[in-house]
Amino acid sequence: MLQRMRDGIQGWISWVIIIAIIASLGLLGVNYYSHGTKNNNDVAATVNGTDITQQQVDIAYNRFRQQQADFPSNVEAQQKLRQDILQKLIDQTLFKNIATANHFTVSQQQVNSMIVQIPAFQQNGQFSPALFSAVLNQLGYSQQQLFSELETDILISQLQNGIAASAFTLPAEVDTMINILQQTRDFSYATISNNQYLSKITVDPKEVQAYYQAHLAEFQTPEKVQVDYLKISAQDIISSIKPTDAQLQQFYQANLSNYSQPAQWQIAHIVVNITGTDATSAKNKLAKIQAALKAGSPFAEVAKDFSEDPLSAKKGGVLPWVSEGTLPSIIQNAIVNLKVGQVSLPILNQNSYEIVKLLKTKPLTTQPFAQVKNTVKQAYVQQAAQKQFADMTQQLQDLSFQNPDALTVAAQTLHLPIQTSDWLLRNNTAKGLFANAQLLQAAFSDLVRTGNNSDVLYPDPSTAVVVHVKNYQAAQQIPFTEVSSAINTLLLQNASQAQAELTAGKIADELNDGKTLAQVTSEYGVKWTSVKNLSSHDQKVNSLILQTAFNVPRPVREHPISASIVSLPTNQVAIVAITAVHDSTKKILPAERNIYQTQLQNNFGQFTLTELLAHYRKQANVKVLQAKFQAAD
């Protein structure tokens, strides 16, 4: 039986686990709450006939936005982000198609097991149906949507892990990687400051005007809004609930099972599987087992010799303790009629016969009220708060929808104060409640800006908010006269940067053509800093200079210096000149070599995945249908 459970076939012990999970999930129902996300099922793209909806893109976009502390306020950047998100959804769909075509599957049991292990759905280390419902509510998910996403994630993960696991490396490849990572280099570097060219450059006023016209969106006062809002806090509700002892006693009696340990049994069993549709062979084996038991053979010995549950057979058929209510009724009914030491008659349980022996019992025990009073109070308050929170939230939704042009009716009915936010900007620089991206997005939505109440929003599972515009200021163009000086400075900096890069590039070219450091120093007046035996992870020099030093090709006899340039964030351009490369002679221990090999295999696996995806992209029939996403096609 346990072997079948491991193989995914329905055995009663596995069903004890699965039924517990499904029962928890089943308490929730299947509901979908939009909470401010438009129900937009327009198709954004198709991948081999599979639709990607605008709603999927919006959900992914909003989720990313909520996770970012510094979300771009530039419209072009936001549009580019939407295109990137759509491309990721296209790639995800392609990966799913690849996995399905290669017969990868995901069972409902795998999805359920993952859900109950997600920390966001747990309270005190245990899966919480109420928290599960609240989190889905906040995210705007239905249960089926979450199941579908997890199924896709597991499916793609199986594919990616399978490909990554198939990657291999040759010893010579590992040697090359180790040599590259452990080699050191001698090099010199010099910097050219952009500032030395500023006094030699003038900017035509026409260029300043042209730049302004080409970048009008960059020279605007930010759009901003101030909103009134109503907030329902589960924590505030919890603080207001003061149950009496009588209420707690009544709650305790109504939920005795939560404070009781059900009857438990430890049993041993012998399993005989029925293969095919003919049970004759199983019955014949069963007869031998019964005869052995009747003849006085110990149950444990008979289980070892005959049981087809290999794990328990090794232990004489003994199983872990099981609780009342967790077993199939046919098994439990047989156990409750046994006394300790007695053996049941054969029981037909789905596709097997089982003979059960009762080894030990533990009776039902209930904790006294006085012992669990604090736990009862906590559960009572939590349950009452959840109900009150849900009721108030529903009232808030109804009242704000029925009276869309103000918060007054909802505030008076629910006895909630109307609060006012500070001025809010689109770039998510707000603090406190409106640091939440969902609330910020709602504050700037067309619905709210035109004078309507928002839907009920959930910045976290225990807080519900409705917002209404108080003041709004659209973005305004800043006059050219106010920004011309700043544009002139910017163009000067760009031109000086270009001149510095040009000079640095000439120096690098001359070094690569055979000139010495002394020769270019004499010609250009640069000052070199020389370092020796630096590794690729050294911290003695600027990281950009170091990275460039290890990207430059190895010098050869004909070209004893190998040089390149890199722009630095300090308004400088660096020339990096490699003069020597030292290969490591250090002996690598087997354990260390294995680490390098694993890292290289992972890189190869990722490369294989990238190439596989690129191949399927070329083969796939991908159509981007929404006009604003055409650049992603």
d(C-alpha 263, C-alpha 410), whole Å: 50
Q: Is residue 138 very low, low, confident or very high in pLDDT (cuts 50, 70, 90)?
A: low
Q: How confident is the model at residue 29 (pLDDT cuts 50, 70, 90)?
A: very low
HSE toward the beta carbon, residue 175, CA cutoff 13 A = 5
Could you read off the pLDDT of 599-615 as tens digits, one per residue? 888 888 888 888 888 88
- The CATH number for 263-363, chosen from 3.20.20.210, 3.10.50.40, 3.30.1490.100, 3.40.50.620, is 3.10.50.40
Q: 3-class SS at 53? A: strand
What is the sign, positive or negative, of the torsion defined by CA atoms of 49, 55, 61, 63? negative
The predicted pLDDT at position 16 comes to 32
- β-strands 220-221, 365-366 pairing: unpaired
Q: Residue 360 above 60 pLDDT?
A: yes
Q: What is the pLDDT of residue 603?
A: 83
pLDDT exceeds 80 at position 151: yes
Nearest to 267 by CA among 307, 309, 312: 312
CA distances from 586 to 536, 589, 595 (A): 16, 9, 16
Query: What does the pLDDT read at residue 67?
Result: 61
What does each C-alpha distance from 595 to 162, 591, 599, 631 come to in angstroms? 20, 7, 6, 42
Residue among 454, 436, 437 nearest 445 (CA): 454
How far is residue 347's CA from residue 270's CA, in Å, rounded to a whole number?
10
For residue 32, the model assigns a pLDDT of: 28
Which stretch, 105-109, 488-492, 600-604, 605-609, has highest mean pLDDT? 488-492
Q: How confident is the model at residue 140 (pLDDT cuts 50, 70, 90)?
A: low
Backbone torsions φ then ψ of 257, nearest 5 degrees: -60, -25
| Length reported for the chain | 633
Helices (H), 167-294: 171-182, 205-214, 234-240, 245-254, 280-294
CB atoms near residue 65 (< 10 Å):
17
- Predicted confidence band at 37 (pLDDT cuts at 50, 70, 90)? very low
Q: Tokens for 292?
A: 């052995």
Q: State the chain's mean pLDDT as an integer.
A: 83
For residue 238, what are its two tokens?
Answer: 């919890």
Query: Using 50, 70 and 90 to split pLDDT, how confident is the model at 4?
Result: very low
The answer, yes or no, to whether residue 123 has pLDDT greater than 60, is yes
pLDDT at position 276: 73
Question: How far is Cα 305 from Cα 323, in angstroms, rounded to an integer?
Answer: 28
- Does the pLDDT of residue 3 top 50, yes or no? no
Q: Is the dihedral of CA 522, 523, 528, 533 positive or negative?
A: negative
pLDDT in tens, 205-226: 999 999 999 999 889 998 899 9
Q: pLDDT-based confidence at 1, cuts 50/70/90?
A: very low
pLDDT above 90 coverage of the chain, percent: 45
| Distance from chain centroid for Cα 483 | 42
CA dist 187 and 574 (Å) reads 12
622 vs 43: CA distance, rounded Å: 12
pLDDT at 68: 61
Domain ranges within the chain, ordered by starting residue: 2-169+616-632, 184-212+482-582, 224-245+370-477, 263-363
3-state secondary structure 64-96: HHHHCCCCCCCHHHHHHHHHHHHHHHHHHHHHH
In this prediction, residue 55 carries a pLDDT of 75
What pLDDT sits at residue 201? 92
3-state secondary structure 226-249: EEEEEEEEHHHHHHHCCCCHHHHH
Superfamily (CATH) of domain 2-169+616-632: Porin chaperone SurA, peptide-binding domain (1.10.4030.10)
DSSP state of 346: P
With cut-offs at 50, 70 and 90, classify the pLDDT of residue 594.
confident
HEC string for 530-548: EEEEECCCCCCCCHHHHHH
Report pLDDT digits (tens) over 161-177.
887 777 888 888 888 88
| pLDDT value of position 112 | 79
Out of 141-145, 334-338, 393-397, pick the least confident. 141-145
- Sign of the CA dihedral with 474 first, then 479, 485, and 489 last: positive
Q: Residue 316: which region, alpha, beta or left (left: phi > 0; alpha: psi -120 to 50)?
A: left
The burial class, CB within 10 Å (0-12 / 13-18 / 19+), for 186 is middle
Average pLDDT in the 578-588 region?
87
Q: Crossing angle of helices 590-619/143-166, nearest 10°?
A: 120
Q: How far is CA 570 from CA 148, 233, 495, 549, 557, in A?
A: 49, 48, 15, 18, 35
Q: What does the alpha-carbon distance between residue 188 and residue 172 come to, in Å, rounded to a whole number?
A: 31
Phi, psi values for residue 336, rounded to 5°: -65, -20
Of 267-271, 456-460, 583-587, the one with minimum mean pLDDT is 583-587
Taking the CA of residue 308 as centre, how many other CA atoms within 13 Å lie in the half-sphere pointing to its CB?
A: 17
- Is the sign of the CA dihedral 397, 398, 401, 406 positive or negative? negative
pLDDT digits (tens, 9 = 90+) for 317-358: 998 888 887 778 888 899 999 999 999 999 998 788 999 999
CA distances to 44, 93, 617, 624 from 49, rounded to whole Å, are: 12, 11, 14, 12
* Distance (Å, whole) CA 13 – CA 320: 10
Confidence of residue 584 (pLDDT cuts 50, 70, 90): confident
Q: Give, for 43, the enclosing helix (H) or strand (E).
A: strand 43-47
Q: Contact, 173 vs 465, CB < 8 A?
A: no
The distance of Cα 346 from the centroid of its chain, to the nearest Å, equals 49
Strand 50-53 relative to strand 476-477, pairing: unpaired
> What are 317's two structure tokens?
């058929």
Q: 232-243 pLDDT, tens per residue?
A: 999 999 999 999
Q: What was the pLDDT predicted at 14?
A: 33
Token pair listed for 438: 């969902």
Q: Which amino acid is residue 99, in one-letter code?
A: A
d(CA 2, CA 460): 42
Which residues lie below 8 Å from residue 545, measured CB to CB, with a gap of 6+? Answer: 189, 566, 568, 574, 576
Distance CA 632, CA 402 (A): 41
* Contact criterion met (CB below 8 Å) for 112 and 433: no
* Confidence check: pLDDT of 18 > 50: no
Whether the Cβ atoms of residue 37 and residue 140 lie closer than 8 Å to each other: yes
- Given pLDDT bands bounded at 50, 70 and 90, which one contains residue 94? confident
Share of the chain above pLDDT 70, in %: 87
Banded pLDDT at 35 (limits 50, 70, 90): very low
Sheet containing 352-362: which strands, arranged edge to edge? Answer: 322-323, 264-273, 352-362, 347-349
User: Does the predicted model carry a pTM greater than 0.95?
Assistant: no
Confidence at residue 344, expressed as pLDDT on a 0 to 100 scale: 93
- Number of helices (H), then strands (E), belonging to the chain: the values are 23, 22
